[in-house]
Structure 1
Amino acid sequence: MRFVIKHEIKGRLRIHIIQGGMSFRQADMMEYYLSNCKCVTSVKVNERLQDAVVCYVGNREEMIETLRHFSYQKVDVPETFLQNSGRELNRTYWDKLVNKVVLRMGSKMFLPYPIRAGITMVRSVKYLWAGVSALAKGRIEVPVLDGTAIGVSLLRNDINTAGSIMFLLGIGEILEEWTHKKSVDDLARSMSLNVSKVWLCQDGQEILVPASEIKEGDEVCIHMGNVIPFDGVVTEGDAMVNQASLTGESLPVHKSVEGYVYAGTVLEEGELTIRVKEVNGSSKFEKIVTMIEESEKLKSSLESKAEHLADRLVPYTLLGTGITWLFTRNTTKALAVLMVDFSCALKLAMPVSVLSAIREASVHNITVKGGKFLEAMAEADTIVFDKTGTLTKAQPTVVDVVSFMDKPTEELLRIAACLEEHFPHSMAKAVVDAAQEKNLVHEELHSKVEYIVAHGISSTIEGKSVVIGSYHFVFEDEKCVVPEGYEEQFNSLPSEYSHLYMAIENRLAAVICIEDPLRDEAAAVVNSLKTAGIKKVVMMTGDSERTASAIAARVGVDEYYSEVLPEDKASFVEKAKAEGHKVIMIGDGINDSPALSAADIGIAISDGAEIAREIADVTIGADNLYEIVTLKVLSNALMKRIHKNYRTIVGFNTGLIVLGVAGVLQPTVSALLHNTSTLVITLKSMQNLLD
């Protein structure tokens, strides 16, 4: 790449790229390439100026050489990154905003009054027609008020006022549309499909391969709790599929042979083999965007109330105008009421506040699927934590494998990993990772694997039954026993670890000891949540009483429950809601899904089971639980902003009406102040809530 250095200081270069022009795609490609270089700490590419600002660490000459080696043809950028960057969207709306302001100022400065008047008359047709259309449908709403204000201004030959009203309404429309589309796109990108590996069915076996290697016509096996990675036709199996993210259906849909499944939906129960029809997941991103834009999920109840209140206030504004004229017989004073109303600011500022908060949450690695969940978070007083992978670290590790038969521990770990790799759970991942670290590569020896939620896995290997899971599952449900002579070894298992039991032919074969350390920030997060307004913190886990009590004491929860099943978690949430509490549920596994669905706001950990993320209302990153506190504080701040906006809008506009009726302010001044205040409140509503 050819470029010149325009400015530099230590650790920062501003360069100008020498080429005929830069497209949005090329700018995204360069930004992706540079941001993935180890020496680069931040990069910003401006496609219009063909400039790039690069901050880096290390040797300057190495950075220069990295820039020289860049080529659009050589860099491999994921198509999803290019499609969803948002660069073109931001540029489009910024240009719209600048063009509108420039045209407004330019016309006032350079166009003669008759031409400006003609343009204003033409532009007013849109607003007048919208008002007439609303009246024709029997609705007296905001378009009626806007049309009336513009129409009366034109009848009085007050072209400047009519132009100012339309200019400010136009600016508001652009800002609202920009914020809305940006928030929706950010949300959709967070919800978009991101599957790296899939199970390819080949020669009677399941082989784990990168998703990028799958071609149209390949057969792929999807296990319970996993996302369906491609559009396709079912060739084998019977299952229930959660399609809520795509169709909005609240109940899972039954799928069997010859049924069609869609990329991004989640297999909730059962197992399917599909023949791939669309390797790129069809237009999943566009489908999600459409779903979000059409869904009432995006609106909080306060936001909906603001819209309805805005429309309900219109008749009163018109009535106030008429009464003022009847009592004063002064058209100017009557127009002072008409030119000022509460509806514009209410209808514009509230949605912008909510959507801006959703956008701000995404900056903190928090995906919120709708404004009403921010409202629920602000009102919540009870929070329920799952333990494994939530309060404890998302990466438990195997510390020991204790053998209870004449087989080496490496062989037993290999068998366990062979079974566990089919299902998404932090404990299963620990077993698979431990086997990989020891280079215990295995063939797929087992028959069909069956996963029993919150219990374990059963299968057969070389004709022998194998089960792996919890104590309850292995010893109580499956009636397995400890081999003779191993009782003392069994009773002396280290108590500080979680235990995963594996039995072959109903006899205990191995106990895998797993360290599941508490997150460093867990206790501080619980304390911070209480400071932010949470009154009751509960921990629920399927682990033993011994492990649960130790974790609960260290975290500082108000209540804890051990050895619970998925339905127990959901029942607790439903009971708390029935008692009048607003409940948050936080989990990461398939077994947490019923409770996540039942809660007022379900929060899933980003690297947990796909079905948990699909059902949850909010997804947070796996690295830090402080994101929950951030979400609570953000939600509280949003509610404060909304209530403050209400007070400001009502107070300021009431003042304008009083001053107008008293004759202190002329209608043109009232209109200008009203529309300016609406714009200022909307712009302030777009500011970040957290400093």
Structure 2
Amino acid sequence: MRFIVKHEIKGRLRIHLDRRQLTLREADLFCCALSLIPGVKEVKVYERTADAAILYEDGLRSVIIGEIRRFSFQDESLCELVPKDSGRALNREYKEKLIQRVVVRAFTKVFLPVPFRAVYTAVKSAGYIVKGLRCLLKGKLTVEVLDATAITVSIARLDYNTAGSVMFLLGIGELLEEWTHKKSVGDLARSMSLNIEKVWQNVNGTEVLVPVSRIREGDLVTVHVGSVIPLDGVVVTGEAMVNQASMTGESIPVKKEPDTYVYAGTAVEEGSITICVKKAAGSTRFERIVKMIEDSEKLKSNVEGKAAAMADALVPWSLGGTVLTWLLTRNVTKAISILMVDFSCALKLAMPLSVLSAMREAGSYLVTVKGGVYLESVAEADTIVFDKTGTLTKARPVVAGVVTFEERDEDEMLRIAACLEEHFPHSMANAVIQESVRRGLIHEEMHSKVDYIVAHGIASYIGGERVIIGSHHFVFEDEGSVIPEDGREQYESLPTEYSHLYMAVGGRLAAVICIIDPLREEAASVVSQLRALGLSKIVMMTGDSDRTARAIAHKVGVDEYYSEVLPEDKASFVEAERAAGRKVIMVGDGINDSPALSAADVGIAISEGAEIAREIADITISEDALDQLVTLKRISNALMVRVNRNYRFVIGFNLGLILLGVNGILAPATSALLHNTSTLMVSLKSMTNLLEQKQ
């Protein structure tokens, strides 16, 4: 790619590409390519001028120059990485609308003669007046009625300047609200959009793991329990219970059988299905998520609802105050000063913007929040329940060793285990698969259909023999497998410091895979900080033995722990806590955590965990560190502080304007200007980051 350096200082480059301008898609691709260069801190690409500003760490200039020279808009891997809808088009649209409104206002004020300006203002006021009349006809006294009354009275008094100023400021406020809302929803939807790299393609009855980019319309894809359906399609074989909450908001799984349609992004809770792909690109998922966010009342926080209700409730008082002032003073100017100031605009605008801004800020810390109500619930929560494996412990446990029985080959046992486990990825399974890869144990599919028993294990047949792998309870109690007589001493001496995966072939114990699952370094600190931020009850629940659970609980510092629990036990505990009047957060990463995630006031999933956990959860954090839980709690607490501060400011400031207007100190036009300016200011303040403020 040819370019020139337009400006340069230490750590910053501004370049111009060898073309007049960029398309929106090209700007997104170039911005992504620059952002992926190690050491680049910030990138801004200006599509209209084909310029880019790059902030980078010292000593990387030559690397960045080289990468730009090698850049190509036709890079297929980059095209797959960059989403089709980046939000750039939305920002351009609303910037143009904002500039247009300011230019039109300036033109009418400076160049239009007074008579023409009066006609223009009267015509423009018709829309606001019609809105107000419609609300009145429906028997509602809302902010639209107040706006219409203020504008009508101003025009009736031939005060076209005040009427024009009110409409201009109202229009700017509505535009900023709409822009911010759509941008926040778009950012949230993009973070929630499907990000599946590989899928199981069904080729002549055999499952082959392939990149999702290779799938075309008409191909067959098999989806197992606990996995997310990667693409839209029609079920060809199999039956499954599918959780469609991410698309429809339904909490109850829907049965899917042959000839029924399934949607990308929904999750298989039970069963296994093979689908015929209908939409290879899955391009409609982003639009469906946007619609789900905008339509679902479940996602709206209580503070937004309270603000809207209070705003509407104050309208009759404003109208009543106007009438009373006129009756007492017979002064139209003093009466109209009340109409020029209302509490509704700021309340209805600032509260939603505060919530959406908090969701955006959480996203900047790699925390995806699916609705404002969950931030409010996190702020109010007093109880948090942690799953152990992959949550308090590291998301990537490793195989410490493989113990075999009856002189079986260690590598062969590990190869079979990896062959079974790769169909149902979770943290323990990933450890087995990674160890198999490390040892170079390449395998072909050697088994028949694989069955997954949630929180227990996996079963299949190889060469006519039943092969199972899973927990002690599953292998020995549910399946009745036996320990070979000559291996009992070996079994009794298994190292106790590890977690164990048991594998049996033909009803006899064949191998035990020892897995070490180190505790996260930050776990104890996170628990301590969460307690300081208001969580009074911290609980750990795990399917591991009491010995392992007790040791972890002591190191982490939780208040209570429960061992050898099943998925339904976790969910029952959460429900019991809620029934006792406590607000509960559940944090987990596995398929077996899904019931508890659904039952909690807020379900938080680790992004590297099972796909179904991420889909069901209300909030997702990245796997890098549990510190994001502390960040989430701080943002939530700060949001409630900001909301309460906004309430006090809006009511106090606007009440002051009304009193000054009634006493004749402020003219109606000045009151309107100050009111609308304060509304915009508090709204802009509500869009700033919360964690930059003192808590």
* TM bucket normalised to smaller: over 0.9
- The 1-side partners of 2:357 and 2:581 are apart by 30
2:499 aligns with 498
| 134-143 or 448-457: bigger deviation | 134-143
Q: Aligned partner of 2:536: which letter?
A: K
Q: Distance in 2 between matches of 1:690 and 1:39?
A: 25
Using the TM superposition, give the Cα deviation of residue 33 of structure 1 relative to its aligned residue in structure 2, in angstroms. Answer: 2.2
**1:622 has 2:623 as partner:** yes
Shift of 1:40: 4.0
The one-letter code sitting in structure 2 at the alignment partner of 1:455 is: H
2:379 maps to 378
CA contact (8 A) 1:297 1:369 kept: no
Distance between the aligned counterparts of 2:317 and 2:572, measured in 1?
47
Task: State the AA in 1 paired with 2:321.
Answer: G
Residue 38 of structure 1, CA deviation: 4.1
Match of 1:50 in 2: 50
Q: Which residue of 1 aligns with 2:285?
A: 284
Distance 1:282 1:683, change over 3 A: closer
Partner Cα distance (2:299, 2:451) in 1? 38
Give the equivalent residue in structure 1 for 2:133.
Answer: 132
Mapping for residues 286-435 of structure 1, pairs under 5 Å: 286-435=287-436
Check if 1:470 corresponds to 2:475: no
Partner of 2:124: 123
CA distance in 2, matches of 1:222, 1:486: 38
Number of the residue aligned with 2:665:
664
How much has 1:21 moved relative to structure 2? 2.1
Q: Which residue of 2 aligns with 1:217?
A: 218
**Which range moves more in the overlay, 48-57 or 547-556?**
48-57
Identity of aligned residues (%): 64
Q: 1:231 touches 1:282 (CA, 8 Å); kept in 2?
A: no
Q: Distance in 2 between matches of 1:81 and 1:380?
A: 37
Q: Distance in 2 between matches of 1:336 and 1:370?
A: 38
Contact 2:20 2:50 in 1 (8 A): no
Amino acid at match of 2:184: S
CA distance, structure 1, for counterparts of residue 126 and residue 581 of structure 2 = 51
Residue type at the aligned position of 2:181: H
Q: Deviations over 1:100-123 (max 9, x none)?
A: 233323433343333322222222
Please give the residue correspondences for 1:101-250 in structure 2 after superposition, counting only pairs within 5 Å.
101-250=102-251
- Deviation of 1:276 (Å): 1.4
Offset, 1:75: 5.9
Q: Is the 8 A contact 1:297 1:371 kept in 2?
A: no
Residue 37 of structure 2 corresponds to which residue in structure 1? Answer: 37
Cα contact 2:147–2:339 (8 A) shared by 1: no
Give how far 1:687 is off.
0.9
- Contact 1:86–1:182 (Cα < 8 Å) also in 2: yes
Cα distance in 2 for residues equivalent to 1:40 and 1:604: 29
Question: What is the identity, as a one-letter code, of the residue corresponding to 1:454?
Answer: A
Aligned residue for 1:216, secondary structure, equals: coil
CA distance in 2, matches of 1:244, 1:349: 29
CA displacement at 1:72 relative to structure 2: 2.3
SS, match of residue 540 in structure 2: strand
- 2:227 counterpart SS class: coil
Counterpart Cα distance in 2 of 1:308 and 1:491:
66
Instruction: Give, in whole Å, the separation in 1 of the partners of 2:289 and 2:18.
Output: 38
How far off is 1:251 after superposition? 1.2
Which residue identity lines up with residue 35 of structure 1 in the other structure? S
Summarize the Cα distance change of 1:11–1:277 in structure 2 as closer, same or farther, 3 Å threshold.
same
Matches within 5 A, 1:570-649: 570-649=571-650
Provide the rounded CA distance (Å) in 1 between the counterparts of 2:399 and 2:449.
Answer: 25
Distance verdict in 2 for CA 1:275–1:94, change over 3 Å:
same
Tell me, in whole angstroms, the C-alpha distance in 1 between the residues paired with 2:656 and 2:54.
50
Q: Give the partner amino acid of 2:95.
A: W
Query: 8 Å contact 1:382–1:536 — kept in the other structure?
Result: yes
Q: State the AA in 2 paired with 1:247.
A: T
Write the distance in 1 (CA, Å) between the matches of 2:187 and 2:62: 36
Supply the distance in 1 between the matched residues of 2:150 and 2:523 (Cα, whole angstroms).
Answer: 57
Hey, what's the Cα distance between the residues in 2 that align with 1:106 and 1:158?
19
Aligned residue type for 1:617: D
Asked if structure 1 preserves the Cα contact closer than 8 Å seen for 2:37 and 2:64, the reply is no
Matched, 1:86 2:87: yes
Deviation at 1:250, TM superposition (A): 2.2
Distance in 2 between the 1:282 and 1:48 partners? 27
Offset of residue 74 of structure 1: 4.5
Shift of 1:185: 0.7
What does residue 523 of structure 2 align with?
522
The answer to which of 446-455 and 378-387 deviates more is 446-455
Residue 80 of structure 1 deviates from its aligned partner by 6.5
Answer whether contact 2:150 2:339 (CA < 8 A) is retained.
Answer: yes
Q: CA deviation at 1:414?
A: 0.4
**How far apart, CA to CA, are the structure 2 residues paired with 1:60 and 1:283?**
40
Give per-residue Cα distances to partners, 1:199-249, cap 9 Å, x unaligned.
111232211111111122221111001011111121111111111211222
Conserved? CA contact 2:591–2:613, under 8 Å: yes
**Contiguous gaps of at least 5 residues in structure 1:** none
CA distance in 1, matches of 2:674, 2:60: 55
For 1:423 and 1:266, how far apart are their aligned partners in 2?
Answer: 13
Letter in 2 for 1:54: I
Distance 2:656 2:74 in 1: 62
The runs of 5 or more residues in structure 2 that have no matched partner are none
Return the TM-score normalized by structure 2: 0.97
CA distance, structure 1, for counterparts of residue 153 and residue 198 of structure 2: 64
RMSD value, Cα: 1.5
User: TM-score normalised to the size of structure 1?
Assistant: 0.97
Quote the Cα distance in structure 2 between the aligned partners of 1:662 and 1:42.
Answer: 52
Q: For 1:323 and 1:172, how far apart are their aligned partners in 2?
A: 29
Give the equivalent residue in structure 2 for 1:3.
Answer: 3
Aligned partner of 1:23 in structure 2 is 23
- 1:481 aligned counterpart, secondary structure: coil
Residues 677-686 or 376-385, more deviating = 677-686
How far apart, in 1, do the equivalents of 2:80 and 2:396 lie?
Answer: 30
1:94 is paired with a residue of what secondary structure? helix
Separation in 1, partners of 2:39, 2:306: 50
Amino acid at match of 1:480: S
Tell me which moved more, 106-115 or 305-314.
106-115
Q: Decide whether aligned partners of structure 1 residues 666 and 359 sit closer, same or farther in structure 2, where only a CA change above 3 A counts.
A: same
- Residue 62 of structure 1 deviates from its aligned partner by 4.3
Q: Name the CA distance, whole Å, in 1 between partners of 2:62 and 2:329.
A: 79
* Cα displacement string for residues 545-580 of structure 1 (whole angstroms, at most 9, x for unaligned residues): 111111101100000000000000001001100111
| Cα distance, 1:71 vs structure 2 | 3.0
In the alignment, the residues of structure 1 paired with residue 626 and residue 72 of structure 2 have an alpha-carbon distance, to the nearest angstrom, of 40
Matched residue, 2:675: 674
SS of equivalent to 1:383: strand
Q: Cα–Cα, structure 1 residues 403 and 233, in superposed 2: closer, same or farther, change >3 Å? A: same
Deviation at 1:480, TM superposition (A): 1.5
CA distance in 2, matches of 1:75, 1:490: 52
Partners of 1:114 and 1:4 in 2: CA distance? 53
Residue 140 of structure 1 contacts residue 315 of structure 1 at CA under 8 Å; is this kept in 2?
Answer: yes
How many angstroms apart in 2 are the aligned matches of 1:50 and 1:201? Answer: 45
Contact 2:397 2:518 in 1 (8 A): yes
Report the Cα offset of residue 95 of structure 1.
2.6
Give the C-alpha shift of residue 18 in structure 1.
2.5
CA separation in 2, counterparts of 1:414 and 1:71? 41
CA shift at 1:11, angstroms?
3.8
Q: CA separation in 1, counterparts of 2:94 and 2:299?
A: 21
Matched residue count: 691
- Per the alignment, residue 553 of structure 2 pairs with 552
Question: Any conservation in 1 of the 2:20–2:49 contact (CA below 8 Å)?
Answer: no
**Larger mean Cα displacement after TM superposition, 590-599 or 657-666:** 657-666
**What code does the residue aligned with 1:200 have?**
Q
- Cα distance, 1:386–1:61 mapped onto 2, change above 3 Å: closer
Distance change >3 Å, CA 206–CA 652, structure 1 → 2: same
Distance 1:482 1:497 in 2: 19
**Rounded Cα–Cα distance in structure 1 between residues aligned with 2:623 and 2:60:** 33
Q: Which moved more, 1:327-336 or 1:89-98?
A: 89-98
Task: Give how far 1:61 is off.
Answer: 4.0
